[in-house]
């Protein structure tokens, strides 16, 4: 795959990036070099290789899924501008 200057200008316009004529010519060469490298990756034999999500084995630490009320509602609403019966008081938004 090859990128021409019109493609660079179109991508820049879609990305809302202002690109001068000189920069567009320079980027054309750079993008073609990047795409050439990506095409080289197609030559690698990956038959039988499992896809990775990470290079190190990771397991999620899980905690017991239990419902708690926190046990300290007065601390939760302590910094609230207005509270009533351990609930936040907010302005009415629906009439």
pLDDT score at 16: 96
pLDDT score at 29: 92
Per the CB < 8 A criterion, the answer to whether 79 and 88 are in contact is no
Instruction: Tell me phi and psi for residue 88, to 5 degrees.
Output: -75, 135
The CA distance from 25 to 6, in Å, is 10
Q: Hey, where are the domains in the chain? A: 5-41
pLDDT score at 15: 95
72-92 per-residue burial string, b: 16 or more CB within 10 A, e: under 16: eeeeebeeeeeeeeeeeeeee
For each of the chain's 95 residues, which pLDDT tens digit applies? 789 999 999 999 999 999 999 999 999 999 999 999 999 988 999 898 888 877 777 777 888 888 877 788 888 899 999 999 989 999 988 87
Task: Give the CATH architecture of domain 5-41.
Answer: Orthogonal Bundle (1.10)
């Amino acid at each position: 795959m090859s990128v021409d200057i019109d493609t660079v200008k179109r991508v820049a316009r879609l990305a809302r990036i202002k690109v001068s004529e000189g920069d567009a010519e320079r980027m054309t060469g750079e993008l073609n070099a990047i795409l050439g490298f990506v095409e080289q990756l197609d030559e690698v034999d990956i038959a039988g290789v499992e896809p990775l999500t990470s290079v190190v084995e990771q397991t999620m630490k899980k905690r017991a899924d239990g419902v708690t009320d926190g046990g300290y509602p007065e601390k939760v609403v302590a910094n609230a501008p207005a509270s009533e019966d351990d609930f936040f008081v907010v302005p009415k938004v629906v009439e």
